[in-house]
Amino acid sequence: MCHERKYEMIRFPHILFAVCCIGSLFVYSYQFTDVYIVAKWCLTLLISLVLLLYICIKVLLYKSVSVNMLMCGNIIVFSCVLQALYGILQFSGLFSSHSFYKVTGSFDNPAGFASCLCAGFPFLILLLSSKNKYVRYGGWLAGTIIVTTIILSYSRAGIVSVTILSCLYLYERLEWKKVLKYLLLASLVLLLFGCYWMKKDSADGRLLIWKCCINMVKDAPWTGHGIGSFEAHYMDYQADYFKQHEQSRYSMLADNVKQPFNEYLKILLNFGIVGILVLFLLIGAIVYCYKKNSNTEKKIGFYSLISIGTFSLFSYPFTYPFVWVIAFFSIYIIIGEYIKRFFIRIWIKNIICVFVLIASIIGFYKLTERIQAELSWGKASTLARCKSYNELLPAYEILEKKFLDNPYFLYNYAAILQEMRQYSESLEVALKCRQYWADYDLELIIGENYQQLNKPDLAEEYYNSASMMCPCRFYPLYQLYELYKKNGNEKKVFLIAKTILEKPVKINSAFVKRIKHKVSKEF
Query: What is the C-alpha separation between 153 and 101, in angstroms, rounded?
Result: 8
Q: What is the per-residue pLDDT across 201-233, written as a single tens digit (0 to 9) for each?
A: 788 889 999 999 999 999 999 999 999 999 999
Q: By C-alpha distance, which of 146, 150, 88 is closest to 121?
A: 146
Q: What is the largest CA-CA distance in the chain?
A: 83
pLDDT for position 1: 41
Whether 123 and 112 have beta carbons less than 8 Å apart is answered as no
pTM of the model: 0.92
- State how far the alpha carbon of 250 is from the alpha carbons of 201, 247, 472, in Å: 9, 8, 10
The Cα–Cα gap between 320 and 312 comes to: 12
| Position 8 pLDDT exceeds 70 | no
Cα–chain center distance at 173? 34
How buried is residue 395: exposed, middle or buried, by Cβ count under 10 Å (0-12/13-18/19+)?
middle
d(CA 239, CA 442): 14
Determine contact, residues 158/149, Cβ cutoff 8 Å.
no
As a whole number of angstroms, the distance between CA 306 and CA 287 comes to: 11
DSSP state of 294: -
Percent of the chain with pLDDT over 90: 65
pLDDT tens profile 151-169: 999 999 999 999 888 888 8
Q: How far apart are the C-alpha atoms of 310 and 12, rounded to whole Å?
A: 33
Checking if the pLDDT of 431 tops 90, the result is: yes
Domain limits, the chain? 474-523
Q: Please give the single-letter amino acid code of residue 116.
A: C
Q: How far apart are CA 26 and CA 14, in angstroms?
A: 18
| Range list of H helices, 221-345 | 229-244, 263-292, 296-312, 321-342
- Check residue 167 and give its pLDDT: 81
Q: Which of 472, 491, 471 lies closest to 481, judged by CA?
A: 491
Task: Give CA–CA dist 429/480, Å, rounded.
Answer: 23
